[in-house]
Amino acid sequence: MKVSTLLLAAASVAQASSLIPRQRASLCELYAYWSGNGYELLNNLWGKDTATSGSQCTYLNGASNNGISWSTTWTWQGAPDNVKSYPYSGRQVAKGRKISSINRMPTSVTWRYDNENVRANVAYDVFTAADPDHPNYGGDYELMIWLARYGNVYPIGTKERTVTLAGRSWDLWVGWNGAMRVYSFVVPSGTVKSFSADVKEFFRYLESNYQYPSSQQNLIVYQVGTEAFTGGPATFTVDNFSADLQ
């Protein structure tokens, strides 16, 4: 990469960071949580007991009504096919918002990994359920958008087709996680480290092609993070994540 390109990239990161007032928090305990400015951050180490060793801490770097900046540092060993954690930032969601009542779900994220020799992904995770009070660790349906896939990790289910949404191609994987139907849109190769889209476009596709019942489904969570399997030490940084419901 040319030096001028590096300078432009650094300037872009600095500009994005400058838009977010400096708030700070360190989250190292299991399910340690922060919320503010309409966003939330969780050190979600839900699968840590499958590891033979490891640890993870998540850090709030800044937040405002326009977005959140954060990072997480982890090392995990053992059970290479098991997810150890999914630290995430999410848009706080009022209960009772039917997917059919939402016209747009605009979002953008810019992220980076300092060590890509790991088993991990970077993905949006959206749960919906008929029950507006459904626990936020699951739903009737799960929509994932994988922006990166490191170390031959795979989504739940099987690849059914390649589709074009939000201006790019995705491999669509479909499967079940217990009783929850899972749709994963996976970038076919490489990584998408700067992503902007309307997530409602993905739901519309599922309505048209998989009979997704948008008038019966409430939005439960709307978040982005990294599923860590094994490797590290590695630091995943989100320079800015924003999301909205319109």
pLDDT in tens, 56-82: 999 999 999 999 999 999 999 999 999
With pLDDT > 70 as the criterion, what percentage of the chain qualifies? 91
Q: Are 129 and 143 in contact (CB under 8 A)?
A: no
pLDDT (mean) for 30-37: 96
Task: Confirm whether 142 is a catalytic residue.
Answer: yes
Element (H, E) at 6: helix 3-18
pLDDT, the chain, mean: 92
Task: Confirm whether 227 is a catalytic residue.
Answer: yes
Residue 72's contacts (CB-CB under 8 Å, 6 or more residues apart) are: 43, 56, 57, 58, 59, 87, 225, 226, 235, 236
pLDDT at 104 over 70: yes
From the candidates 142, 160, 201, 207, which is the catalytic residue? 142
Distance in angstroms (rounded) separating the CA atoms of residues 86 and 226: 5
pLDDT at 185 over 70: yes
